Structure 1
Amino acid sequence: MIIAVDGSAASGKGTLAKRLAAYFDLAHLDTGALYRMVGLAALEQGLDDKNINELQAVAITSALDLSVTPDDRIRNDTVAEMASIVAAMPPVRACLLDLQRHFVAHPTAAGGAVLDGRDIGSVVLPDADYKFFVDADIDVRAERRTKELHDNGQSVMFRHVLEDMKARDQRDRNRDIAPLVATSDAIVIDTSDKDADMVLALALAHIAG
């Protein structure tokens, strides 16, 4: 069983993907974490959105040690912003595309895999058995992300998180390569007024047919 879960930032796609993987005993890959790892490495090299270029980003991507589990350093909005920037670079996406498909071809769980990201159903796994597209009102998503960052000890203001999220949405949805889009065969779930249990129940009902 191969499941693709796409969606916008803080929509709940990661939570759904993890819970589906646990429910069906499938391997799980958070593809957004891969781009965040590239973003973090770029920031640690003193690069930012104004001076990073594709050659630098590809060099960083190629040098990543993907056997190392990403830590909490990737879970902040500065890294997320840089991840969104490098994710718009076609050579970076090409480097990571092979890795993602290899993960699906050789999953760590016998039953299959769940991948979540922004182009899984459209580009990475167009033939996935099940596809979900998760979204929510941007104010709701910004509130969720603000709470998450506060819970992680980061001092942020809602309006700044909202502004950053709007900019990220703009990049993700309008980039030339692999834009964030719901495919015609994806089940769209709006999580604005739903908790994690309700979202999982909707997904399971669809899979059960």
Structure 2
Amino acid sequence: MTLTIAVDGPAASGKGTIGRALAARFGLGYLDTGLLYRAVGRRMLDGEDPVAAARALRAADLEAEGLRGPEAAEAASKVAAIPEVRAALVDFQRAFATREGGAVLDGRDIGTVICPDAPVKLFVTAAAETRAARRFRELAAGGHATSFDEVLADIRARDARDAGRTDAPMCAAGDAVRIDTTELDVAAAVTRAVAEVEARHPGCGAG
């Protein structure tokens, strides 16, 4: 059986780090679905209609410069609230999820909407203040001028948009394993996630 792992959670919770580590550990493809929305958001900032941008999105767009910056992140959260944008990106994500060899996808609605039948679902979260501190350090290291209070406010606003949107709100699937990384370092969080995958998909082994 093809192994599909759905990793959901709010911004800066560690889901991307965990997703990449699981893909490497089990030899699976990896897709940060947030990049899809960042790419659409980036094109919207450049003056394109977000729905048209989503419908025209190609894999090469995920390599564009600036997708990891705060402007693209803010735009991504806004376009993700547009039902037509989400609908346009569903097929892209589901095709990746069923790729030969298995896949790990991380995002906000993977376990609830994109891959509701995934055999392994994780919901990775952490306290807002902890997530803001992580994101603040990342932005400062990247040369972005901001303050902790601004980052915390942005984290809380994004959480509210992601969880409150009408179409595919961010939430844990009923059968998802919740991993709170507030008090966990990277190694401990990855170890916990690997154990959960192996418990739910015996015999998957290393890639």
Match of 1:53 in 2: none
TM-score, normalised by the number of residues in structure 2: 0.91
Q: Does residue 144 of structure 2 align to residue 144 of structure 1?
A: no
1:9 aligns with 2:14: no
Question: Using the alignment, how far apart are the partners of 1:201 and 1:72 within structure 2?
Answer: 32
Tell me the amino acid that sits aligned with residue 82 of structure 1.
Answer: A
CA contact under 8 A between 2:36 and 2:62: conserved in structure 1?
no
Q: Say if 2:39 and 2:61, in contact at 8 Å, map to a contact too.
A: no
CA distance in 1, matches of 2:60, 2:66: 16
8 Å CA contact 1:121, 1:183 repeated in 2: yes
How large is the RMSD of aligned CA atoms in angstroms? 1.2
Counterparts of 1:89 and 1:100, CA distance in 2: 17
Query: Contact between 1:4 and 1:125, CA under 8 Å: does it hold in 2?
Result: yes
Partner of 1:194: 184
State the shift of 1:187 in Å: 0.5
Residue 93 of structure 2: aligned partner: 100
In the alignment, is the contact (CA less than 8 A) between 1:35 and 1:86 conserved in 2? yes
* Identity over aligned pairs, percent: 48
Structure 1 residue runs of 4 or more that deviate by more than 6 Å after TM superposition: none
Task: Name the structure 2 match of 1:80.
Answer: 73
Of 154, 158, 163, the match for 1:168: 158
Number of residue-to-residue matches in the alignment: 197
The question of 1:67 aligning with 2:67 is answered no
Deviation at residue 206 of structure 1 after TM alignment:
1.7
In the alignment, which of 108, 112, 119 is matched to residue 122 of structure 1?
112
Per-residue deviation, 1:118? 0.2
Q: Is the 8 A contact 1:4 1:121 kept in 2?
A: yes
Match of residue 37 from structure 1: 39
- The aligned residue for residue 157 of structure 1 is 147
Q: Which amino acid aligns with 2:141?
A: D
* Structure 2 contact 109–171 (Cα < 8 Å) conserved: yes
Displacement, 1:199?
0.9
**Does the aligned pair in 2 maintain the 1:4–1:132 contact within 8 Å?**
yes
Contact 1:4 1:116 survives alignment (8 Å): yes
State TM-score, norm by structure 1. Answer: 0.91
- 1:65 shift after superposition: 2.8
Cα deviation for residue 91 of structure 1 reads: 0.5
Does the Cα contact within 8 Å between 1:136 and 1:190 map onto a contact in 2?
yes
CA distances 1:80-117 after superposition (whole Å, capped 9, x unpaired): 1110010011110000001101112234xx2x000000
Taking a change above 3 Å as real, the CA distance of residues 72 and 152 of structure 1, as seen in their structure-2 partners, is farther
Structure 1 letter corresponding to 2:177: I
Q: What amino acid is the match of 1:105?
A: T
| Structure 2: runs of 5+ lacking an equivalent | 200-207
Q: Per-residue deviation at 1:69?
A: 3.9
One-letter code of the match for 2:19?
A: A
Question: In structure 2, do the counterparts of structure 1 residues 65 and 77 end up closer, same or farther at CA, with 3 Å as the change threshold?
Answer: same
